[in-house]
Amino acid sequence: MHAHDDHHHDHSHDHDHSELSETELRVRALETILTEKGYVDPAALDVLIETYETKVGPRNGARVVAKAWSDPAYRERLLQDATAAIAELGYTGRQGEHVVAVENTPATHNMVVCTLCSCYPWSVLGLPPVWYKSAAYRSRTVKEPRAVLAEFGVTLPADTAIRVWDSTAEIRYLVVPMRPDGSDGLSEDRLADLVTRDSMIGTGLARSPAEIA
């Protein structure tokens, strides 16, 4: 496993979020062509996409984080052996093996990049976003994590260290974001609503309770 500490302050701006919508259009066009030719059953495709986007995916990871926030014993198990702790909740399967959980604190913020496109824990994060698989995201996050975070709308205190973890085919990472202020007393289901996919990659923060009120 590899971790990189942040002490770089470059301000390049080649991280293009417009790629997301453009790619979505291309996917829909391809889906239309394949459907018209009879190669794809639209209903089956919809079920597959919906499963990975909502059932298998970020919602699963959000429940893992919510339980870690509310159950100190589970949090310890998650940080010691994330694969086993995640399996306790029934989340296993594709790319869900050999997961390591890293916890954000006021002193340290964690981000995850991937050497290969396959290094993504689908069972807890769902489908990988397009930007996560780009070479630009990986290279820039290692060199200038604060600049990349700023483009995602995240500004951290100057004294917060940033560690960048390089996910591989052998080890995949799940970031446990900091629990937001004002979330005391919320149920695990409500806490899970505060957890975003990006916060579990490290490019975002958990939502505040006011954002989901």
Q: Which residue has the higher pLDDT, 120 or 2?
A: 120
In sequence order, the 6+-apart residues with CB closer than 8 A to the CB of 111 are 141, 145, 148, 149, 162, 163, 164, 165, 175, 201, 202, 203
Lowest mean pLDDT among 2-6, 9-13, 127-131, 192-196: 9-13
Label residue 55 exposed, middle or buried (CB < 10 Å: 0-12, 13-18, 19+): exposed
47-71: pLDDT as tens digits: 666 665 555 557 899 999 999 999 9
- Report domain extents, the chain: 2-212
Token look-up 């579990």 returns 200
Residue 152, pLDDT score: 96
Q: What is the mean pLDDT of the chain?
A: 82
**In the prediction, which pLDDT does 101 show?**
97
DSSP string, the chain: -EEEE-----------THHHHHHHHHHHHHHHHHHHTTSS-HHHHHHHHHIIIIISSHHHHHHHHHHHHH-HHHHHHHHH-HHHHHHHTT--STT-SSEEEEE--SSEEEEEEESSTT-S-HHHH-SPPGGGG-HHHHHHHHH-HHHHHHHTT----TT-EEEEEEE-SS-EEEEEPPPPTT-TT--HHHHHHT--HHHHHTSS-PPPHHHH-
Average pLDDT over residues 120-136: 80
pTM for the model stands at 0.74
Q: Regarding the domain with residue range 2-212, which homologous superfamily does it belong to in the CATH classification?
A: Nitrile hydratase alpha /Thiocyanate hydrolase gamma (3.90.330.10)
pLDDT tens string 170-205: 889 999 999 999 999 999 999 999 999 999 999 999
Catalytic positions, please? 114, 117-119
